[in-house]
């Protein structure tokens, strides 16, 4: 359990979440279970608790009791009709009653442009976030102020997105709910994620990195750093980590042996071609005119 639960929830609340989550399958949950889940989801939306937290050494770690509380919400939820319009004619919507789409008011300071976007209950969007349609943010996600989530972008369950990030069109940020000890994808402050990028399986993208359009990062992806002449990989419990300020582009490497080499086949691999400088910063500041 996290040593510091939140500003408003104490350790006793976390213990209650764990006790409810440990109730054997098939056993009726006590009457207060839904209230506990509601309290947790509201705290997640306010940003008072998070599904992952950064340690003093810069590492990111999952907060298992929070993730188990989110899973508890699915367990006790009932499938209900939350469709919009008569007979669901405008927007058919059938889901667990504990996880409706999130309601927003203008005082939240979030720009939610019309056109089919959805933010699920239990996600935190800070003031200044811009949501371009259609996009989707799943439960447990945390998005910092000044970030833009562009059209067709996905922020998966429990993903952690920093401040002033640009998730470009069709960017996919993977989510991790289970196992509960697994850290979700983290994109730190001032990162530019290009169009059609995919960041999955607990990958960490450090602050001010730039992912060019089409870069795909997974736990099994080797990243070739041409600047420092090294290969960056996930190792054991340590996830793949893109260094701060790295500029990553799609690349290819030739199959080293066998029939694949004979056929001249190459495999896709991301390449760090440089580290962010004034010229890169000038290019990335152009998006500020959209805010």
pLDDT in tens, 89-146: 678 889 999 999 998 999 999 999 999 899 999 999 999 999 999 999 999 999 999 9
Nearest of 278, 256, 277 to residue 265 by alpha carbon = 256
The residue assigned the tokens 């976007």 is: 117
pLDDT at 277: 85
pLDDT at 104: 93
- pLDDT-based confidence at residue 3 (cuts at 50, 70, 90): very low
pLDDT at 237: 84
Selected residue with higher pLDDT from 284 and 274: 274
pLDDT at 282 over 70: no
pLDDT at 244: 97
Nearest of 45, 54, 43 to residue 6 by alpha carbon = 43
Spatial separation of the C-alpha atoms in residues 198 and 167, rounded to whole Å: 10
pLDDT at 260: 87
Q: Which long-range contacts (CB under 8 A, 24 or more apart) does 50-55 make?
A: 50/124, 50/142, 50/160, 51/140, 51/142, 51/158, 51/160, 51/184, 52/158, 52/160, 52/183, 52/184, 52/186, 53/2
pLDDT at 51: 95
CB contact at 8 A, 225 and 258:
no
Spatial separation of the C-alpha atoms in residues 115 and 113, rounded to whole Å: 7
Selected residue with higher pLDDT from 156 and 6: 156
DSSP letter for 210, please: E
Spatial separation of the C-alpha atoms in residues 77 and 34, rounded to whole Å: 9
Q: Give the phi and the psi of residue 72 in degrees, each rounded to 5.
A: -60, -40
pLDDT at 45 over 50: yes
- pLDDT-based confidence at residue 1 (cuts at 50, 70, 90): very low
Q: Which residues pair with 269 in a beta bridge?
A: 251
Question: Quick one: average pLDDT of 236-264?
Answer: 93
pLDDT at 88 over 60: no
Q: Considering the entire predicted model, what is its pTM?
A: 0.91
Domain ranges across the chain = 11-79
Nearest of 192, 193, 204, 199 to residue 241 by alpha carbon = 204
**What CATH class is the domain 11-79?**
mainly alpha
SS3 for 46? helix
Q: Which residues pair with 131 in a beta bridge?
A: 112, 149
């Amino acid at each position: 359990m996290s040593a510091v639960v939140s500003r408003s929830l104490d350790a006793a609340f976390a213990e209650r979440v764990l006790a409810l989550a440990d109730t054997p399958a098939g056993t009726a949950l006590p009457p207060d279970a839904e209230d506990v889940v509601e309290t947790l989801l509201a705290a997640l939306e306010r940003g008072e608790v998070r599904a992952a937290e950064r340690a003093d050494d810069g590492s990111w770690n999952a907060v298992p009791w929070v993730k188990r509380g989110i899973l508890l919400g699915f367990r006790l939820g009932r499938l209900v009709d939350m469709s919009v319009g008569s007979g669901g004619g405008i927007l058919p919507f059938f889901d667990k009653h504990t996880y409706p789409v999130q309601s927003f008011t203008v005082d939240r300071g979030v720009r939610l442009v019309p056109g089919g976007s959805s933010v699920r209950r239990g996600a935190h969007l800070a003031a200044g976030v811009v949501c371009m349609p259609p996009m989707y943010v799943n439960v447990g996600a945390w998005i910092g102020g000044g970030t833009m989530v562009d059209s067709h972008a996905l922020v998966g369950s429990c993903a952690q997105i920093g401040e002033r990030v640009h998730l470009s069109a069709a960017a996919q940020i993977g989510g991790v709910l289970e196992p509960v000890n697994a850290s979700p994808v983290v994109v730190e402050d001032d990162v530019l994620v290009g169009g059609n990028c995919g960041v999955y399986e607990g990958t960490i993208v450090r602050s001010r990195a730039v992912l060019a359009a089409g870069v795909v990062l997974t736990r099994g992806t080797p990243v070739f750093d041409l600047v420092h002449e090294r290969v960056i990989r996930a190792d054991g419990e340590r996830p793949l980590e893109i260094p701060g300020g790295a500029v990553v582009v799609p690349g290819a490497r030739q199959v080293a042996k066998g029939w694949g080499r004979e056929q001249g086949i190459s495999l896709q691999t991301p390449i760090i071609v440089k580290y962010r400088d004034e010229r890169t910063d000038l290019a990335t500041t152009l998006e500020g005119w959209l805010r």
